[in-house]
Amino acid sequence: MERVRSRLSASGRGIAAWWQALPLSAVFALFFLLPLGLIAMVSFWDYSEYEMLPGFTLKNYVQIFDGCSNVGDLCVTLKTYGSTLKFGLLVWLITLVLGFAISYFLAFCVQTSRMQTVLFALCTIPFWTSNVIRMISWVPLLGRNGLINQTLQGIGLTEQPIDWLLFSDFSVVLAFVHLNTMFMIVPIFNSMMRIDRRLLEAASDNGASGWQTLWNIIIPLSKSGITIGSIFIITIVMGDFVTIGVMGGQQIASVGKMIQVQTSYLQFPLAAANAVMLLLCVLMIVWALTRLVDIRKEL
């Protein structure tokens, strides 16, 4: 009798757990899985200049890699994906260094929790304004007649305005770092705050230097936060087209920008095929990152 009661109690808890997960699962299915399935379905449709033709065709995927079979010459798609991946890696590396340094300072160099809270709040101030406004704010600084060029010419370091400060790869990377560094700081800081300070004291008592403590204790225990921050940065940069369009002067190619252009020309099936390929590329990167570190303990 007791076994029957325990089984009924266990099944009741299981049903209750399913009911608790149902609202979030429904939202996830309605606003993520369903649109994703529609994009995948449309990617196999045909299209003309003025309409989409439901059906099944691989023409869009073939068109994406058109010309990629030429030996020694990269096609437009591979060049575009290479450019997007380049921005992703550069922004990831810079935000990782900045995010780790800032998180380390907040977690281990600031003594009081009140000051940590104040300094952490200061890091979030840029998020109080729109991304577009923060991007446009760089134009008066980096332009040919901007503040930086005027200052450099005024003190005699340059004779002519520096052209590569704006509408270039430099300005795109700078804007990405400005907009997204916080996504690297938050998970790393969270991981560092969970580190038992007694481990650091034990390492110091055993004669470990600061670099040894950093390399053997802090970095390994912060890997989950680094992985989560890396996923945020990679997924944001790989799909972004607004930042590249504004800061690149509409002259720099990216996969997100290519999809946006195809959508503006009503080439929805081709844009959907590119979106599927971009999603697969990002998922492979995320899969590789999650193979290195088990981030479930961080969530």
Domain-embedded: residue 7: no
Query: In DSSP terms, which residues pair with 22 in a beta bridge?
Result: none
Q: What's residue 8's pLDDT?
A: 44
In this predicted model, which residue has the larger pLDDT, 73 or 31?
31
Q: What's residue 1's pLDDT?
A: 52
Q: What's residue 140's pLDDT?
A: 87
Reduced to 3 states (helix: H, G, I; strand: E, B; else coil), residue 67 is: coil
Supply the mean pLDDT for the chain.
Answer: 85
Confidence of residue 175 (pLDDT cuts 50, 70, 90): very high
How many distinct structural domains can be found in the chain? 1
Domain-embedded: residue 79: yes
Q: What's residue 248's pLDDT?
A: 87
Amino acid at 115: M
Domain-embedded: residue 59: no
Q: What's residue 79's pLDDT?
A: 86
* Residues belonging to the chain: 299
Beta-carbon contacts of residue 78 (< 8 Å; ≥ 6 apart): 65, 68
Q: What's residue 274's pLDDT?
A: 92
Domain-embedded: residue 77: yes
Distance, in Å, from the CA atom of 136 to the CA atom of 159, rounded to the nearest integer, reads 26
> CATH number, domain at 249?
1.10.3720.10
Domain-embedded: residue 91: yes
Beta-carbon contacts of residue 76 (< 8 Å; ≥ 6 apart): 67
For residue 138, the enclosing domain spans 71-297
Distance, in Å, from the CA atom of 292 to the CA atom of 283, rounded to the nearest integer, reads 14
Domain-embedded: residue 176: yes
Integer CA distances (angstroms), 113 to 72, 92, 159, 182, in order: 58, 28, 49, 19
Q: Tokens 């503040």 correspond to what residue?
A: 147
CA 166 to chain centroid:
22
Q: What's residue 72's pLDDT?
A: 54
Distance, in Å, from the CA atom of 37 to the CA atom of 81, rounded to the nearest integer, reads 23
Distance, in Å, from the CA atom of 46 to the CA atom of 68, rounded to the nearest integer, reads 21
Domain-embedded: residue 38: no
Confidence of residue 233 (pLDDT cuts 50, 70, 90): very high
Q: What percent of the chain has pLDDT over 90?
A: 28
Domain-embedded: residue 241: yes
H or E element that contains 190: helix 169-193
CB 180 within 8 A of CB 91: yes
Answer whether residue 51 shows pLDDT above 50.
Answer: yes
In this predicted model, which residue has the larger pLDDT, 298 or 105?
105
Model pLDDT for residues 271-290, shown as the tens digit of each residue: 999 999 999 999 999 888 88
- The secondary structure of residue 127, as a DSSP letter, is G
Q: What's residue 4's pLDDT?
A: 45
Model pLDDT for residues 178-229, shown as the tens digit of each residue: 999 999 999 999 999 888 888 888 888 888 888 888 898 999 989 989 999 9
